[in-house]
Amino acid sequence: MSDNITKKQRSYCMSRIRNKNTYPEISFKKIFKGFKYQPKMFGHPDFVDKKNKTVVFIDGCFWHKCSKHFKRPKTNMAYWDEKIRKNVIRDKKVNSEYKNKGWKVVRLWEHHFR
């Protein structure tokens, strides 16, 4: 099945997807003020508490394949299947790296903040 909008329109739509200051991140910021927001660290965690060696990731249901809310796109399926598969593999690698170094890893789903 082909896309029903032009490449230029699709590009514009995708460019509007934010990766900073999303609603779940802003909600978390208000509650957990002791965490540093989006530090430059391996795996790009959303929040870090270095004192307690804790990293927090807030994962989008689509981008990280939430078992409750993930809906497979109907267009360009091969691309999206591979993209999402790589995201899930990368998440596991990042978790493993932090755990091997004695850090606690917390992953929250975007739907926890709705």
Ramachandran category for residue 24: left, alpha or beta (phi over 0 → left; psi -120 to 50 → alpha): alpha
Per the prediction, the chain carries an average pLDDT of 87
- pLDDT band for position 66 (50/70/90)? very high
The residue ranges of every structural domain in the chain are 19-113
In the three-class reduction of DSSP (H, G, I as helix; E, B as strand; rest coil), residue 105 is classed as strand
- In this structure, CATH architecture of domain 19-113: 3-Layer(aba) Sandwich (3.40)
How confident is the model over 68-95, as pLDDT tens digits?
A: 999 998 888 999 999 999 999 999 999 9
The pLDDT score that the predictor gives to residue 16 is: 66
